[in-house]
Homo-oligomer: A and B are copies of this chain.
Amino acid sequence: MSDRVLDAAPTPSRKRDPDASRQRILAAATDEFASKGFGDARVDEIARRAGINKRMLYHYFGSKDGLFQAALEEIYETICHAGQALELAAIEPRPGLAKLVDFVWDYYAANPQSITLLNTENLHDARHLRFSVRTQAIHPPFEELIQDLLDRGVAADEFRPDLGAVDLYITIVGLVYYYLSNSATLSVFFGRDLRAPKPLKNWRRHVHETIERLVLKNPGSSAAEIDRGLVRPYK
């Protein structure tokens, strides 16, 4: 009938693989949203990066907003599942605390996309996450996980008895997340590259120390500090 039909006829047409396509779109979207934010992210660019036709993106996710929500939900689930795999219950309170700090640090250092995606969602007042039925079904494991760790530490007379699990979690993540999220402006501010290996390593150590001092009943006697001869145990 028209040139359109004739042109469309000899399409090479890739082998079908809906799951893979969906996944490629999602990965490309996560990249694009994480590196540009919502408004500056380009739907055409996501399609190009995913190597699929833009139409598919609307087929699977409905809209740019739907796509952002899907990317965010995936990140949210990843974080929750990683937390569940932590298995803190099996180890002693103090090394458990250190392991928790390492986990948070390693996760966000390895997944900076999570940070920018979460920042974007906070800019939008969490309106995607708040109304997401998919994520509401997932109970974040952190509160119980940490409460148990704290309880055991208190029982062993090592931890303070008056610290809440949520406060501790936010403290750990805050120290890790803020440093990584704002290292660009902080580096300008202080005139040094905070993302160089040495400052990064230093900050990781600093977070460990800060958290120990916050949680331990008797922080002055922190093993690390005794080793460095800075304090001496007074028991």
Q: What is the interface of chain A, defined by CB distance below 8 A to chain B? A: 35-41, 116, 118-123, 125-126, 129-130, 135, 140, 142-143, 160-162, 166-167, 170-171, 173-175, 177-179, 181-190, 192, 202-203, 206, 209-210, 213-214, 217-220, 228, 230-231, 234
7 pairs from A and B in contact (CB 8 Å cutoff): A38-B40, A39-B40, A116-B123, A119-B182, A125-B184, A135-B188, A210-B210
Given A122-B185, A210-B210, list of 16 further CB < 8 A pairs? A35-B123, A37-B40, A37-B120, A37-B123, A126-B187, A129-B188, A130-B188, A135-B188, A167-B203, A171-B206, A174-B179, A175-B175, A177-B182, A209-B214, A213-B214, A218-B220
Q: Identify whether the interface residues of A are mostly helix, strand, loop, or mixed.
A: helix
B residues near A219, Cβ cutoff 8 Å? 213, 219-220
Contact of B187 with A178 in the complex, beta carbons under 8 Å? no
- Closest approach, in angstroms, between the C-beta of A128 and any C-beta of chain B? 10
Q: Name A170's contact: one of B41, B178, B231 (CB within 8 Å).
A: B178
Q: Which 7 A-B pairs have the closest CB atoms?
A: A39-B39, A39-B40, A174-B178, A126-B184, A213-B213, A178-B178, A122-B184
Contact of A173 with B178 in the complex, beta carbons under 8 Å? yes
A74 to B178, CA, bound (A): 22
Q: Which residue of B lies closest to A135 (CB)?
A: B188
A182 to B174, CA, bound (A): 9
- Closest approach, in angstroms, between the C-beta of A203 and any C-beta of chain B? 7
Determine which residue in A162, A167, A234 has the highest number of CB atoms from chain B within 10 A of its CB, and name it. Answer: A167
